[in-house]
Each structure stands twice: as C-alpha cells, then as structure tokens.
Structure 1
Amino acid sequence: MELSDISLNDFHLIRGRQAANEDISFVIHFDTSFYVTHFVLGDTLNTSKQNPWAPSLNTYRLYYQDRDQSESGYIGKNQQYNFFEMAFRKSFLDGLVEEDELLADKLFSRFGKEEYRNAPASPIIPDMYSCLGAMDSKVFTGPLQQLYLETKARELLLLQIQTLMKTESAVSTLKPADIDCLHEAKHYIERNYRRPCSIIDLAKIVGINQTKLKRGFKELFGTTVFGYVRDLQMERAKQLLLEEGLYVSEVADQVGYNHPQHFTVAFKRKFGVLPSELKNS
C-alpha cells in the first residue's frame, strides 16, 4: 500500500493506492477515533464472496472510525484501488456547525455509521472533483500551503454538507424496484464502459423504461448515464497514461474512443490538460 498523509490542524489528508500481484486480505488497526470522508477515485476491484463490500468508483462515504474497531479488507490478484480521505477530530466538525443545531444533528447522524462498509455511498459531484484536484497542486510553500490545504479541505466538506442537505430535502418519486434497476444499470456501466450501449439497450437490459432510467439515474447518482460513462473512461485513461506509459491513441482505444482527437477533447474538458501533457509530466 502507498500512502501520503498530510497532518493539519485537527484533521489529516490521506491519498492512498493499494495494488496486489496476488490475493491479499488485510486488517488495519487505529490508535485514534475520528470521523472520515472517503473518496473512491479509481479501482479495478470486483464484488466477490471475499470482498462483498467492494466500493463503487466515483463515490464517497462518511463514517465514524472507532479506535477499538479494526478495519478488514481484501484485494484480488492484479486489482488496485486509489482513494483520498479526510480524517477529522470531532472538534473540527463542531467548529463548523456549532451554531446550527439542526445541521449538526444531520451531519453527525450521517457520520453515525461505524465502519466504511456500513456507510451509504454518494456520487462525487464535479465541484468535489475540482476541489480534490486543487489539493494536488503545490500553490504555496510552508505555512501558506498548509492554510491553502485547510481551506480546500473545508470547502470539500462543505460541498458534502450542502449535498446532504439537498438530498434530504428532495422528495424522491423512485420506487424500491426502480432503485434496484438503477443500481443494476450503474454496475453494468462499470463493467462495460469501454464499449457503452445506447440508453434504449441499457433500459432493456436492466428492465426499466428510458425516461425512468435517465431521470432516475440523475436523481440517484447525481450525474447522467453518459456523464458517468465519460467519468469512468477518463479516470481509466488517466491511470493508463500515468502508470502504463501507453501512447495517447492506445489509451483512447482502450477506453472506448474510435477517434483519438475526440478522446483528447474529452480529456482536456475533464482534467484541464491534454493527455499528451499529462503523459510527459
């Protein structure tokens, strides 16, 4: 496991990458209790009997990690998992919501789930991705860089709180059966994003009509069907460029683009840089 841990006032910023050349089970023990927001930024993990809680790409979870509760995990052969998380002390969260009792109740209720596997997953929205990307930038040095990271961390958490409030205030018209179909559609996309099918075909595959698929997917996951396909393609492309050293045309083909120039435009729109620039950085 590769970890980068930045310690700031009352919280930590952690980027990690787990990879395995063989099946590995592991257990993590903690010295301190803390509140966590965990972002899944890239993975090739598959749900299995050994790993029934395999995370979904482009989602985040809020949960409470008790120091007396260890965390177990599993990574299969040739699989990998990239993540970012913020770990807070209670004093940090108290400082954000101390004057709003209703918001504090909602926030701590959402954090009330113990362990990652028990916490509900929410989609990472574009503003969150922008914030996560900004925290990779070394804009300043010394104390100013620390202040910059603290500011971005607060911004990222506030985006999650804002999303939480919007979600709880919205009245959903989705039935349980519809939600099951939409999750099935999401999992199908994750397995087949390199060669995506049409909305018509996807609706038939998961057993839901086109209108419910389009509207329900947006409501449930915070993005469109094709927006989610593009996100998966771009995240995989970024991984291939940085870790596999492939040519841009090869990456374009592997993530489902017939024309490298169309891939280049989509990549620049997503990350703000050309794929060739990222490859050579």
Structure 2
Amino acid sequence: MTNLSKSKLYETGKTLIKNEKSKSFIKQIANINNQFINLNIVNVMVEDNIYLNIVDNTIKQSYIQKLSSKKKQLQIRIVLQGQLEKLDQNENKKIVYKENEISVEYKHNIEESLLNKKGQHIKYICITLNENYLNENGYFSDFFKKNFSKKFYEPDLKNRFEELLNREYTNGLDKIYLKNKTMEIILYVINRIQRIEKLELSGLDEEDIKRVKKAKILLEDRFNEKLTIPILSKEVALNQSKLKTGFKKLFNTTIHEYLKNIRLQKAVEYLKSNRYTVKEVSIMVGYTNQGSFSYAFSNKYNCSPKDIQKNSLL
C-alpha cells in the first residue's frame, strides 16, 4: 500500500462545491476524484470544537493514510456501507469498523493509519469532539475518565441516516439541521453506552447482549409468526429472565410492545397499498383475531384500519 498524507491525498482532483464560514460554523462540500479515490465529503464545524464529516468514498487504489494527534478527543463513527480498517500503532493492533456498526472512542496521543483497500465503497458519518469542548463540558471528562472504546451493532443504519447522507446542503437551514442532527447523535450514543453498561452491571456480558440483539432481529424478520418469549429464548439460546431484562434495558421497551409496533407499522404499509382487505392484513401481520388487530391499531394511530385505506385513495 502507498503511504499518503492527508494533504497529498487531497491535493489533486478536488472540486469545491460549497464553502460557508461564520464565527462558529463552517461548512465545506467537496468532491475529490484522483488516482486513489472518488470522494464526496461534507466537512462541518457545527460549533466550536465539534466536527461532523459525512463521507462517501470509492477507493480506486490501495493506500495508507496516517492520522495522529496529541490532544484527547471523543470520536463517534457510524458505518453505513462497507468496512473501515485502521492500524493503531500505540497498541500495535488492527481495528475493523463494520457496516451497521457504531463505534465510540475516547483517546489521546493518537498514532493511527487508515488502511484503504482498492475496490471498497465506504459510506460513513464521523463526529469528533475536540479537547477544548471536552474540557469545557465536564460531563464528558467525568463519563470518559480514561481511554475508552466501544462498538455496537445497529441494524438498518443506512435507512436511519439516509437523509443526513444524501441531503444536498445548499440552503440557509443547513446550519440548524446539521447542528441538531449532530447533537441528536451524540446524545443517542451516550445514552446507548449508559444502557449497555447498566446491562453489563446487571449480569449480561457481551455474548448475552448479542443474543438479545438477535432476538430483536428475529422479531423484525418474523413479525407475522407467533413468537412468544419461550420460543425466542430457545431460538437465541438465552434464558427468559435475561432476555426480558436485557431487551427492556437495551431498547427501552418490552418484547411484546416492540413486536406489536412492528406489526402495526407493517399493517400501515399493507393498508396503504389497497391490495388487501383489513382481515387479510390482520393475518399478514400476525393477528389471529381481526377485532384485536383493529383495537390495537386504533389505540396506536387514533384511526381505524379502514380510515388508512380511504385516505390512501384520495
């Protein structure tokens, strides 16, 4: 692999699409197309010492990009497509960031290299909180007392962040939108870490957490089946008590409520298509009784299933 500095990598083939600067906000949108990369990137300072990068990169030729910093920073990376690889020189180990994975790293004295391999198409979001911001907001220093690294899998991240990734960023509302989205992600990630740590303290290890997440995926994939807690427990090889406790703490809802919400969301999709009767839809989403389906639907959406069908015809 060719070793490249950031400046050398970006010095050829750069087209600056948009550049906006103020005292506390910077937005730069660019395309860089050269022998190594075809990169579309949005670089933003949403406020002092908080940076957002939205990256869509097709790698034409393998290269290594060195990264270093003596200052401490908190970095959140959300991989929407592909896989990122990094070599940590301090610990002499390779770190892999996989698709549909959120990573959180708090460290200083950074000596790293990104390992970019030919043919990869990577899409990711990266948020960096610099040392000054961390020092000014004591909560972060209290929460992250030493070098910290944690990763967690979240299914369907691409759809969740589709607008953030594909928005054109050409109007005056971008500043508000980008700042709000960045802070929303930071808050979500911190809360998520706290929930995971509570799970670990309550006796669930990393393998248990993976099994709880597998149960969630099963509910999403097989929402129309009769998936009881005993069945789920057997499917993911985790006892019922740990499964129920872990699911509630990890996703802030019960298994029953989560399954019901998935079924009703799918029901809306089927009803809007106007291809099925209400009875057919109720069976398709896993209800054996149409009356129970209509009652649950009305409680959630404050209208009947037939109302959805009528409105979709207008």
**TM-score in terms of structure 2 length:** 0.46
Gaps spanning 5+ residues in structure 1: where?
A: 17-26, 41-52, 75-83, 112-118, 125-130
Deviation readout 1:191-231 (Å, 9 max, x if unpaired) = 42222322234335555543333223323454321233245
| Greater RCO structure (CA 8 Å; 6+ sep) | 1
Report the secondary structure of 1:86's partner residue: strand
Deviation readout 1:156-215 (Å, 9 max, x if unpaired) = 312311332453366122367755654553454344222232223433555554333322
Of the three residues 192, 195, 200, the one matched with 2:230 is 200
Whether the aligned pair in 1 keeps the contact of 2:215 and 2:236 (CA below 8 Å) is yes
Task: Tell me, in whole angstroms, the C-alpha distance in 1 between the residues paired with 2:313 and 2:118.
Answer: 38
Report the secondary structure of 1:11's partner residue: strand
The aligned residue for residue 298 of structure 2 is 265
Q: Which amino acid aligns with 1:152?
A: K
Gaps spanning 5+ residues in structure 2: where?
A: 1-39, 46-50, 68-74, 82-97, 106-111
Report which stretch shifted further, 198-207 or 174-183: 174-183
Task: Tell me, in whole angstroms, the C-alpha distance in 2 between the residues paired with 1:248 and 1:38.
Answer: 40
Q: How many pairs are equivalent?
A: 219
Q: Indicate the structure (1 or 2) with the bigger Cα radius of gyration.
A: 2
The aligned residue for residue 102 of structure 2 is 61
Q: Which amino acid aligns with 2:224?
A: R
Alignment pair present for 1:156 and 2:185: yes
Alignment pair present for 1:227 and 2:257: yes
Change beyond 3 A, Cα 1:186–1:162: closer
Task: Tell me, in whole angstroms, the C-alpha distance in 2 between the residues paired with 1:181 and 1:208.
Answer: 7
**Identical aligned pairs, as a percentage?**
20
The aligned residue for residue 120 of structure 1 is 152
Give, in angstroms, the shift of residue 154 of structure 1: 0.8
Task: Tell me, in whole angstroms, the C-alpha distance in 1 between the residues paired with 2:184 and 2:125.
Answer: 12
Q: Which amino acid aligns with 2:249?
A: E
Whether the aligned pair in 1 keeps the contact of 2:271 and 2:308 (CA below 8 Å) is yes
Whether the aligned pair in 2 keeps the contact of 1:248 and 1:275 (CA below 8 Å) is no
Task: Tell me, in whole angstroms, the C-alpha distance in 1 between the residues paired with 2:238 and 2:221.
Answer: 19
Deviation readout 1:1-21 (Å, 9 max, x if unpaired) = xxx98764332468x9xxxxx
The CA RMSD measured in Å over matched residues stands at 5.4
| Higher strand proportion | 2
Alignment pair present for 1:87 and 2:117: no
Of the three residues 254, 259, 269, the one matched with 2:284 is 254
Of the three residues 170, 175, 187, the one matched with 1:146 is 175
Whether the aligned pair in 2 keeps the contact of 1:29 and 1:70 (CA below 8 Å) is yes
Alignment pair present for 1:215 and 2:249: no
Task: Tell me, in whole angstroms, the C-alpha distance in 2 between the residues paired with 1:251 and 1:277.
Answer: 15
Change beyond 3 A, Cα 1:222–1:38: farther
Q: Which amino acid aligns with 1:97?
A: L
Deviation readout 1:102-130 (Å, 9 max, x if unpaired) = 44566x7336xxxxxxx432699xxxxxx
The aligned residue for residue 93 of structure 2 is none
Task: Tell me, in whole angstroms, the C-alpha distance in 2 between the residues paired with 1:71 and 1:61.
Answer: 23
